Structure formats: structure tokens, C-alpha cells
Amino acid sequence: MEYKPVLQTLKRIGSWIVFPLLSVGDIVGRKTGRNMPRLTLAALGIYLYIYVLGSTGVFNGYVMHIINLSLIYVALAASLNLINGITGQFSLGHMGFAAVGAYVSGTFTTLLFKLNPSVPGAYLVFVGAIVAGGVAAALMGVLIGFPSLRLKGDYLAIVTLGFGEIIRTILNNISYVGGPRGLLGIPKFSNFTIIFAAAFLTILVIRNLVHSSHGRAFLAIRENELAAELAGIDTTRYKVLSFAIGAGFAGVAGGLFAHLLQMAHPTQYGFMGSVMVLIMVYAGGVGSLTGSIIAAFSLTFLSEGLRGVLDGLGELTNLPLGDLRMVIYALLLILIMLFRTEGLMGNKESKLLMLPEDKR
Amino acid sequence: MGSIINAQQIINGLQLGSIYALIALGYTMVYGIVRLINFAHGDFYMIGAYAAYGAFFLFNAVLGGAGGPMAVATLLFAMLAGLSIAALTNRFAYRPLRYKPKLSSLITAIGVSMFIEYVFSATPFIGASFRAFPAIIPQSLFKIGSATVSNYVVIDLAVAGTLMIGLTVLVKWTKLGKAMRAVSQDKDAARLMGIDIEKVISATFMIGGAFAGAAGLLAGMTYPRIFPYMGILPGLKAFIAAVLGGIGNIPGAMLGAYIMGLAETFASAYNSLLGEGIAFAILILVLLVRPRGLLGEKTADKI
């Protein structure tokens, strides 16, 4: 493939779409003294940029698929970051919440479109199903949030891990949703637009939450729970709230995931899946949304790249090298913990995701 | 219910409980001393099973023939393998993080666990698939009342019992045991009394690893199928058993493990889904009703 025209297209689209939007955002932002216009327009710019590249064929279907996956992981990592990084709890069952969202929305759309393939307003129905999945997951978050009233640190980790395993076991045993075969034949509704919107919404809500009084309460609980309680913060309520919001967004991401892959399988939502999201949060930096975004993208791309390279090498040498991918992941996690415990970004945040007057 | 709780099930439960007990002891000792849930502990057990598998074929090729002395040699080999991997893990993964936030050790433990599992399944001559475990000692069955008992039950109970008695003696009456108890009570005071904390921690990991290795051999023999991910669920269940008994408490871990073994056997006999989920149900119940476990001591939160 000749890359010169590709590069030119990239540049041209960049200069026609992204820069004007960014500068408009910058001007508005400076005039109003707020970051919101800047953030929204930057996101719009990035969205249009990738969208145009995708629809003109500069990015082929495979690349767009990986970008979609990355964006789903952005939503998952950011929502886990709210629980683990910002509120300072420790959840090891995040994919359990995603599973709830995936199965609830997936069952709903599959059933509906099996009964009547030409439902009017199909896309709206799909969005409704995704939201329903998110709400169901949030309710599960409230349910699992209650043990966190009494438990701390590693005990909480074990309970959430157990919760994730229980969800997986239950799904494995309900033949109505496919049991161990998984839920198959989910209509393919997820596309770049809705996934981008969901990821952006997740980031936006969590960013605004952190800077609200609720967010201050979350941070206070992370820093010192006892002191937070003495300062009059209802720690129980805020911990449950954090679990519910994080779980809700995970449920939405799970629903989109199922409608992207057109299937939902219990093993996707097991312990290993949760650990992948956990790695993204800790690699990116605990409490840093910017870090979560960067880590979600780079690890998803790394994973796909490694898959290609290792499968190629494996075919050449006739060895099962595919599993080395997970070895590299595990090693990465250990090395990050040993040598950069605070993650890539540490506690830092991109300027776009902060309030203008905030300096961290 | 009479058909579910009978002598046969009790024997099966005790057998499963012995294996859980050997794993749970490692969890509880390590937690008692460094306050770390060693997620990789289940993988030490898996390594014990693989080491026994390898050792059996090695000894068989060199010496020939199955028999008593060789079974003992295989057991020692499995324990040595568990001990070495535990010592290495402690030295290279946990020790550098000793004075960093606790959660970073926990995450490292998850990483170590994944690392060991996937290295095993990616190594060409081990592979991710199931392997049949050889009969190290020929199996023979006999009857006690209405229950059929295999000699493996006797071996499992005897090995677990011997090791547990040995551990109790070690912890109660030796200098190392005294040092272990001191470190688990107060690290700083122990250091001031001239105890080399790192040595004690390392010894604790080694003992736990050796026990897990022995459990790996017993489990391989009893349920003759091994694979690289075999440690995940028993590890988790043994941990829950340790929490049930009161984590950090050695008799508690033994008690919890036997309760867990019996509960799981009965539940599986009743319904297989219940059998899979009973461990987690027990965990959530214990943590909600009595978080310090059955034999755990109540500790006040220090401010």
C-alpha cells in the first residue's frame, strides 16, 4: 500500500476539520473561562477525524474495529477508575457489571428482533436496551456496594471477585441465555458513533463528578475515610453511589461490547477480563482519566499487534506462542507495580479534563 | 436429606478438606505475617502437581517401578518445587514492595499469578491442555460400613495430618515459630528485638509454598487431571476457608478448610450449581456476619 496519499489525506482532513474546531473551542473557552467548550469541540474534532478516515477507507474495517474496542475499554477503565482510583475502593469484578449490561440489553434486542425484524425506530430501541442494561448494572452496583460498607481493601477485593465469579457461574447455568455456549445472534447495532458517544459521555460525567461536591466526597474517602466521616461525609452513601455509577457505565460498555461482537460469552466477563481493565487503570495511573484513556488505547492496540506478530511467529516456528501475549501482559503489570507504582500518568490529568483554575 | 449426608460424602468431604487445609495454611500464614493475600498461592499448588508429575516420570525412568519410597521422593520433590517458587516470588515480586501501599502488592500478586499460569500454558512441552496424572501408588479400595474408601483417602488424610502437626510443633515450640508469631504481632517491635524480619517472612513463604506443593501432589493423585489453571479455583476456595476460620489463625485455617470441604461435597451432591457457588456464598455470609472468622480475634481499628 502506498502510504503517501494516505498521509496526505490524514493531513488534509486534520487541517480542515480538527484545527478549526480546536481553535474555536480555544477561543470560546478563553472567553467564558470554562473548559467545557474546549473539551466538547476537541472530542467532536477527534470524532469527525476518525469518522472521515473510516468512511473514506483510510482506516480499514479492522482498524476501526480495534478503535471501537479501545473506546469500549476507555469506558470500562474510566468507570473502574471512579471506583478504584477516585473513591479508593478496590473492585475486582468490574466485568461482572459489564456482563449484566451485555446480557440484559443483548437478550432484549435479540428477542425483539427475532419476533419482529422490522421494528419501527430500531435504533432507538437499541439505545433504550443499552440504557436498560446500564440501569440493571447500576442496581447490581448498589447491591454489591453494600458489603463495601463493612469491608476494606483486600477483603473488598475478594468479595467483588467472588461476585464476578457468581455472575459468571449463573450465566453459565441459565440455558435461556445460551449457558456455556453464550448468547448468540445479537443484532449488530454498535457502531463508531454510538461507542464514541458512550465513551465520551462516561469521561465527561466522571470528570464533572470529580469536580462537584460529590466528587470531593469521593476523593476525601480515598484520602482518609475516618477523617472524611468526621468531616460529616456520609461515607456509606458515597461509596454505594460510586459503585452504582461505575457499574452503570460498565453496564453500558458491556451492552455496546455485546452488540459489537454480536455475541456475549460468560468467559469474556470472567476474572481475566476484569484483570485486563484493572491493568489499564493501574498502567494509566490511579485516579487519572487521561491515563485510563491512553492506557486503554495503547494496550488494546498492543494486544492486537502482539496477536498478529505472535501468531505469525507461531506459524513459522510451530509453537503455541499465542499464550505469550498474556505472559507479556502479566509481566507488564508486575513491572509497572515494581518500578512505577503510580502508573504512567500518576495522579496527573490532561488540562482538558480539569477545571481551568485547578492546578495539580 | 438422609441420602445426601452419609458416610461416603463425609469421607469425600474430609479428603477434599485436607487438600484445602494444606493450601489454606499458606494463605493464612502469609497473611498473618505480611498482611498480603497471595493470589499466586494457588499457582504454587499447580506447580507442585506438575513437579510431582515430572519427578514421577524422571524417577520411574532412572529407578524403575512404582512404590512407597518413590512416592515419598515425589512428595519431597513437589514440596521442594513449591518452596522454591514461593521463595523466588517473595524475593523478586513482593519484597521490593514491602513498604509501599498495600494494594500495589495485591495487584502484583495478581500479576504473578497470571504470569505463572500463562508461562506454563505457553511452554511447549507443558501446554494448556489437560494431562492425566499417573498413579504413583496403585489404588486399592476397601469398605468401611456402607462407604467405599480408597487408600488415597488414607494417604491424603495422613500426609495432611502429619504436615499440620509438624507445623503446629514448629510454630509453637521452635525459635523460628516464636519469631514468626512475634513478627505477625508487631513487625517493628520484632525488629527491635533483633529478629531478621525478611528471613522470617521468607521462611513463612517457603513453608506455605511447600505445603501447597504437597497439596498439588495429593490433588493430582486424587483427582487425576492437571492443567495450568488448576490452581485458581482451589486457591480461591482455600482462601475463603482461611477467611472462614479467621485469617492469620493457623487452627482456624484447618477448621475452615474441613468445613469448606464438607460443605462443598454436600452441596455438590445436592445440586452442581450450588456446589460451584457455595464457597462464595459462605464467604459473603462470613464477611457480613462475622468478618473476623470463626476463630479470629477481634482487633480494634487503630487510628
Q: Running along chain B, 303 residues long, what does each successive block of 10 average in pLDDT?
A: 71 93 94 89 95 88 73 92 95 90 85 92 80 84 82 91 94 93 90 93 96 94 90 90 88 93 90 79 82 73 50
Shared-domain flag, residues A24 and A125: no
Quick check: A289 pLDDT over 50? yes
Residues of chain B with C-beta less than 8 angstroms from the C-beta of A322:
122
What's chain A's average pLDDT?
A: 85
**pLDDT digit string (tens) for A78-105?**
999 999 989 988 888 899 999 999 999 9
Question: Do the domain assignments include residue B149?
Answer: yes
Quick check: A213 pLDDT over 50? yes
Q: Nearest 5 degrees, angle CA B82-CA B87-CA B91?
A: 150
Quick check: A149 pLDDT over 70? no
> Could you tell me what percent of chain A has a pLDDT over 70?
94
pLDDT of residue A192: 92
Domains in chain A, number: 2
Q: Is B137 left (phi over 0), alpha (psi -120 to 50) or beta?
A: beta
- Residues B221 and B238: their CA atoms lie apart, in Å, by 18
Are B11 and B149 spatial neighbours (Cβ–Cβ below 8 Å)?
yes
H/E stretch holding B226 reads strand B225-226
Question: Do the domain assignments include residue B300?
Answer: no
Single-letter amino acid, residue A274: S
Contact B128 A320 (CB under 8 A): yes
Residue B143's SS3 state is: strand
Domains in chain B, number: 1
Question: Do the domain assignments include residue B293?
Answer: no
- Best mutation site among A159, A267, A303, A334 for testing chain B: the one with the most B CBs within 10 Å? A334
Contact B110 A275 (CB under 8 A): yes
Shared-domain flag, residues A167 and A212: yes
- Does residue A205 sit at the B interface (CB-CB below 8 Å)? no
Shared-domain flag, residues A149 and A223: yes
Shared-domain flag, residues A27 and A73: no
Nearest to B275 by CA among B79, B16, B44, B58: B16
Higher-scoring residue by pLDDT: B46, A283: B46
pLDDT of residue A259: 93
Nearest chain A alpha carbon to B104? A337
H/E stretch holding A309 reads helix A289-317
What distances in angstroms separate CA A32 from CA A27, A37, A205, A356, one per listed residue?
9, 9, 20, 11
- Best mutation site among B115, B227, B243 for testing chain A: the one with the most A CBs within 10 Å? B115
Shared-domain flag, residues A189 and A82: yes
For residue B106, what are the domain limits?
Answer: 7-286
Contact A169 B104 (CB under 8 A): no
The distance of A6 to chain B (nearest Cα, Å) reads 38
Contact A330 B100 (CB under 8 A): no
Shared-domain flag, residues A220 and A275: yes
Shared-domain flag, residues A6 and A72: no
Are A103 and A177 spatial neighbours (Cβ–Cβ below 8 Å)?
yes
Higher-scoring residue by pLDDT: A266, A250: A250
Cell reading at A122? 430500531
Are A167 and A96 spatial neighbours (Cβ–Cβ below 8 Å)?
yes
Are B47 and B85 spatial neighbours (Cβ–Cβ below 8 Å)?
yes
Shared-domain flag, residues A199 and A340: yes
Question: Do the domain assignments include residue A358?
Answer: no
Which one of B37, B121, B283 has the shortest CB-CB distance to A323?
Answer: B121
Are A137 and A247 spatial neighbours (Cβ–Cβ below 8 Å)?
yes
Residues of chain B with C-beta less than 8 angstroms from the C-beta of A226:
303
Residue A63's SS3 state is: helix
For residue A122, what are the domain limits?
Answer: 60-353
- Residues near A304 by Cβ (< 8 Å), separated by ≥ 6? A66
Question: Do the domain assignments include residue A95?
Answer: yes
Q: If you ran DSSP here, which 8-state letter would residue B105 be given? A: H
CATH number at residue B220: 1.10.3470
ipTM score over 0.85, yes or no: no
Contact B103 A90 (CB under 8 A): yes
Nearest chain A alpha carbon to B116? A327
Question: Do the domain assignments include residue B302?
Answer: no
Cell reading at A215? 466528587
In chain A, DSSP assigns E strands to 183-184, 263-264
Question: Do the domain assignments include residue B114?
Answer: yes
Residues of chain A with C-beta less than 8 angstroms from the C-beta of B89:
none
Give the 3-state secondary structure percentages of chain B, helix then strand then coil, rounded to 5.
Answer: 75, 5, 25
Q: Based on the number of CB atoms within 10 Å of its own CB, is B56 exposed (0-12), middle (13-18) or buried (19 or more)?
A: buried
Residues of chain A with C-beta less than 8 angstroms from the C-beta of B122:
320-324, 326-327
In Å, how far from its chain's centre is CA B127?
Answer: 23
Model confidence at A359, pLDDT cuts 50, 70, 90, reads very low
What distances in angstroms separate CA A203 from CA A39, A167, B257, one per listed residue?
11, 26, 44
Single-letter amino acid, residue B97: L
What distances in angstroms separate CA B20 from CA A245, B216, B291, one per listed residue?
37, 10, 20
Q: If you ran DSSP here, which 8-state letter would residue A150 be given? A: T
Shared-domain flag, residues A226 and A272: yes
Range among A260-264, A326-330, B137-141, B213-217 rated most confident = B213-217
Are A318 and A303 spatial neighbours (Cβ–Cβ below 8 Å)?
no
